[in-house]
Structure 1
Amino acid sequence: MPGKKKLIIDTDPGIDDILGLLLALSASAEEVEILLISLTFGNIEVKSCLRNVVSMFHILEREMQWRREQGRPEGFEALRACPPIVAVGAEDPLEDQKMLGDYFHGVDGLGGIHATHPHLTPKETWDHLFDASSEPTVIDPVPSGDIASPKALAHRTFIPSKRRAHEEILRVLRENDPDTVTVVAVGPLTNLALASAADPETFLRAKEVVVMGGTVNKPGNVTPVAEFNTYADAFAAARVYALTSPSPKSTVPPGESLPPYPESLSKQLTVRLFPLNITMRHGMTRGQYRKAAASSLEAGSPLAEWVSAFIAHTFRTIERLHTGHVGDDVDLSLHDPVCVWYAMTADDKGWKPTENSPEDIRVETTGQWTRGMCVVDGRNRHRIDGDEEHASDHGLWLSMKAGNRIWRMDESPAEANFGEILLERIFT
C-alpha cells in the first residue's frame, strides 16, 4: 500500500487554489500530511491570500462543528490529524513588473466574498500572528487522540509562522528525510526561487516539485504565448527549472539579482510540470457544482455556503469572458486542484508524462512579447556530447550536458470525472 504523502503547498489563493487546498485537507490521515502552506503574491496581493487562507480555516472549523451537530462524519482527517503551518512569502516578483490575476478572481481573490458575505469572514485580526516583529506566538499542536474535540479545534486548524515562506520551505525540507516531501507549487515560483537560492542543497532534498505553469505549443491564458503563473515571475520559473539541468548555469536567465548556483550540486531537481495542455482538460461545470452542493447548501453547511458564494462569481466571470459558455454548461478549469490530486495519487499508473520527457523546457524572460513563454526545441537534430557552445547549437539546446530536464505531464487517471471527484471529496 502506498505510504502517506508529505506535502508543501505553495499557493496564491485564488479560487482554484482554495479548491485545491480543500481537496488536500479533505484527505484521510493515512493519505496526506500537509506540512506547510506557503503563500505568494499572484492572483492577488499576498496579504489578501493570507486573509483567504485564514477564512478557509475559519469556515472549516465551523463546518466540522456543524457536521458533528448534524451527526455526520466530520471529514477533513488530514487537517485534524496535522494542522499545517502557514507562512507568508513573496510580495513581488524577482525582477519583472508585477501583474495580478484579480481581473478573474476579484480584488480579494474570492469574488468579493469578504464584502458580500461578511458573516463568513473571521472578525479576529490575524496579522500579528504572522508579524516577525511582534512577540512569538506559541500554538501547541492538537493533542493526539483529541482531534475530534471542539475545544481542540477552536483556532487550532493551522499554525501561524513568523518566518518568511522560503525559510519555512527550507526548514521543512531540512527536518524531513530527503526525497520524502513533495512541493506543490500552484502560483508564481518566487518563494521556491528564493529558497533554492538561499540553500540549493537543502532545496534539492525535495522528492519532486509539482508545478502548475506554462503552456507548450498552445495559446496562453494571459498573453498569446504565456500562462499566468509563469508570466507573473518568469525569472523565478527559469531559476527553478534550471535546477533540473546537469549544468544549471546553462539555463539560468541573464541579468537577474539572485546569486548563481554552485558549479556542482549533489543531484538534479525533479520537476513535474502541469501546463495548460493538461489542466485545461480537467474541469467542473456549473451544473456539476449545483448538483453536488445542493443538499449540503440546503441543510445549512457553512462550507457549502462559502464555496457557493465565490464559485457563483467565478461562473459569471467565465460567461462574461468567454463566448459560448452559458448556463449549466459553463466550465471552470481546475488547474491547481489537478496538481494537488497528482501529489496525493502519484502512485497511480494513469499519470503519464509526454513520450519524450524529460524535455528541455526553458522560460523566456526578456522578450518584448514573449515573457513567460515555454520554449521547447522541436528540431529533429542529433545531440552533441559536450558542454561548450557549438557553431550549430547556439544556446546549448543540443548538448547532452546542458539544458533543462522537465517531466511534462500529459495524461491523468481522472480526466473524465475529476470535477465530480473533487466535489465529492469536499462535501461528503
Structure 2
Amino acid sequence: MKPVILDVDTGIDDALAIAYALNSPELEILGLTTCFGNGPVEKTTRNTLVVLEQLGKSVPVYPGADKPLSRPPKKFPTHIHGEDGLGNRVAKSPVMEAESESAVDYIINQVKQRPNEITIIAVGPLTNLAHAVKKDPEIVSLVKEVVIMGGAVFIKGNVTPYSEANIFTDPHAAECVFSSGLPVTLVGLDVTMKTLLPNTILADWRATGREVSDFFADMTSFYMHAYETFHPGIGGCALHDPLAVGVVVDPSFIKKETWNVKVFLEGEEMGRTVAQAEGEPKIQVCTRVEADRFLNHFLNRLF
C-alpha cells in the first residue's frame, strides 16, 4: 500500500476523489488536509467530514489554510458546487470532528516520520503545501511524490482563458511548489477534460437504493448542470480530482512529459502555467490519458 496524504478543498469532484481513494486498496490514506478553495476552509473541512460519514469511513481531518499566500481571495464558486459546496446536499452537521493539529504541521510531521515514503495528492489550491515547504524546507527531499490536480499547460483554462481554477486561486503557492524541487506530477486540464463521467450513470447510482449512492448522485447532478452551462451538450462532467487519485493508484493511466513549469503571477494571465524546455527544476506534466480505462476503474471502485 502507498501511504498517502490527500489535500482537498472539498467540493463535488473532491468528494468523488475522496470516495475513490478510500475505496482503493492500493492506497493507505493517512489523513485528509483541508484548504479554502471551493469554499471557506471551515466549510471545506465540514464537507470533508460529511463525505467521510456518508462513506462510513473514519480518517483524521486536519484544517489548513484559509486564504492565499499573497493575492486577495477570489469569490467562491457556488455556481459550480452549490452554496454548501456539495450541491446543496448537506442536511446536517457531521458528528465527526476535525483534529486540532494544523494541516501544515501534520504534513511536515508525517513526512519527517516516514521519509521518502509518503505521496501527497493535492486537489485544491496548493497553499497548505507551500506553507509546509516555507516552514520546513527539509521536507522537499523527504516526500516521495506530489501529485497535483491543477494547471492547463497546453490548453486553455477554465476560470480564465489562461488559468485553471486551483492554480488561479493561489498562483503564488503554485509557483512556490513548482520551483521547490519537490517531485511533482501535474495532472491538469490537458488530461482531466478528457475524462468524462456521463450523466446516464446517475440513474445507475440511484438504482442501488443506498443512501450514499443517492447522496453522490444528487450532488454530482448539480455539478453536471453547472457543466452544461459552460459546455452545452457535454452530457456529463470531467473527473478532475479523481484522475489525480487514479494516477497514484495506477500510473499507467497517463503518459507524462518533463518540463520546467512557470506560473504567471500578475496581469490578465495570472495563474497561467507555461511549460519551458530550459530551466530547473523539472516536473512531470501529464499529456495523455487512457480515459475509458480510467473511467471504468473509477466506477468500479466508487462505492
TM band (smaller chain): over 0.9
Residue matched to 1:296: 208
Would you say the 8 A contact 1:186–1:339 is kept in 2? yes
Would you say the 8 A contact 2:60–2:99 is kept in 1? yes
Please give the per-residue CA displacement for 1:302-340, whole angstroms capped at 9, x wherever unaligned: 111211121121122222332233xxxx12100100000
Q: CA deviation at 1:108?
A: 1.1
Once residues 323 and 411 of structure 1 are traced to their aligned partners in structure 2, the CA distance between those partners, rounded to angstroms, is: 24
Residue matched to 1:89: 64
- Find the partner of 1:339 among 229, 238, 244: 244
Please give the per-residue CA displacement for 1:343-389, whole angstroms capped at 9, x wherever unaligned: 1223x4x53212xx1x11100112x10110112237xxxxxxxxxxx
Please give the per-residue CA displacement for 1:273-325, whole angstroms capped at 9, x wherever unaligned: 1110011111201013323x14313xxx1111211121121122222332233
Q: How does 1:223-262 map to 2 (within 5 A)?
A: 223-244=160-181
- Find the partner of 2:83 among 107, 113, 119: 107
RMSD: 1.7
Once residues 197 and 58 of structure 1 are traced to their aligned partners in structure 2, the CA distance between those partners, rounded to angstroms, is: 33
Q: Is 2:246 the partner of 1:404? A: no
Residue matched to 2:22: 25
Q: What's the TM-score once normalised by structure 2's chain length?
A: 0.94
The answer for unaligned runs of 5 or more in structure 2 is: none
Number of aligned residue pairs: give it. 302
Once residues 227 and 295 of structure 2 are traced to their aligned partners in structure 1, the CA distance between those partners, rounded to angstroms, is: 16
Residue matched to 1:51: 46
Shift in CA distance, 203/170, structure 1 to aligned 2, threshold 3 Å: farther
Q: Is 2:159 the partner of 1:222? A: yes
Would you say the 8 A contact 2:152–2:272 is kept in 1? yes
Residue matched to 2:125: 188
Would you say the 8 A contact 2:9–2:36 is kept in 1? yes
Q: CA deviation at 1:36?
A: 1.4
SS of alignment partner, residue 317 of structure 1 = helix
Residue matched to 1:72: none
Letter in 1 for 2:292: A
Once residues 361 and 320 of structure 1 are traced to their aligned partners in structure 2, the CA distance between those partners, rounded to angstroms, is: 31
SS of alignment partner, residue 14 of structure 2 = helix
Q: CA deviation at 1:204?
A: 2.8
Residue matched to 1:252: none
Q: How does 1:354-369 map to 2 (within 5 A)?
A: 354=257, 357=258, 359-366=259-266, 368-369=267-268
SS of alignment partner, residue 360 of structure 1 = strand
The answer for unaligned runs of 5 or more in structure 1 is: 62-78, 130-159, 245-268, 379-397
Residue matched to 1:248: none
Once residues 42 and 424 of structure 1 are traced to their aligned partners in structure 2, the CA distance between those partners, rounded to angstroms, is: 28
Residue matched to 1:317: 226
SS of alignment partner, residue 162 of structure 2 = coil
Once residues 194 and 422 of structure 1 are traced to their aligned partners in structure 2, the CA distance between those partners, rounded to angstroms, is: 31
Residue matched to 2:301: 425
Once residues 363 and 91 of structure 1 are traced to their aligned partners in structure 2, the CA distance between those partners, rounded to angstroms, is: 21
Which shows bigger deviation, 316-325 or 281-290? 316-325
Q: What's the TM-score once normalised by structure 1's chain length?
A: 0.67
Letter in 1 for 2:10: P
Please give the per-residue CA displacement for 1:34-71, whole angstroms capped at 9, x wherever unaligned: 0110000011111111111111122123xxxxxxxxxx
SS of alignment partner, residue 313 of structure 1 = helix
Q: Is 2:99 the partner of 1:161? A: yes
Once residues 282 and 109 of structure 2 are traced to their aligned partners in structure 1, the CA distance between those partners, rounded to angstroms, is: 26
Q: CA deviation at 1:203?
A: 4.0
SS of alignment partner, residue 183 of structure 1 = strand
Would you say the 8 A contact 2:206–2:214 is kept in 1? no
- Find the partner of 1:202 among 132, 139, 142: 139
Once residues 221 and 239 of structure 2 are traced to their aligned partners in structure 1, the CA distance between those partners, rounded to angstroms, is: 15
Would you say the 8 A contact 2:246–2:294 is kept in 1? no
Q: Is 2:207 the partner of 1:274? A: no
Once residues 160 and 127 of structure 2 are traced to their aligned partners in structure 1, the CA distance between those partners, rounded to angstroms, is: 20
Q: CA deviation at 1:122?
A: 4.2
User: What is the percent sequence identity of the aligned residues?
Assistant: 30
Letter in 1 for 2:197: M
Would you say the 8 A contact 1:170–1:203 is kept in 2? no
Once residues 373 and 123 of structure 1 are traced to their aligned partners in structure 2, the CA distance between those partners, rounded to angstroms, is: 37
SS of alignment partner, residue 292 of structure 2 = coil
Q: CA deviation at 1:164?
A: 1.1
SS of alignment partner, residue 241 of structure 2 = helix
Once residues 43 and 198 of structure 1 are traced to their aligned partners in structure 2, the CA distance between those partners, rounded to angstroms, is: 25
Once residues 361 and 32 of structure 1 are traced to their aligned partners in structure 2, the CA distance between those partners, rounded to angstroms, is: 28
Once residues 304 and 122 of structure 1 are traced to their aligned partners in structure 2, the CA distance between those partners, rounded to angstroms, is: 19
SS of alignment partner, residue 316 of structure 1 = helix
Residue matched to 1:66: none
Residue matched to 2:4: 7
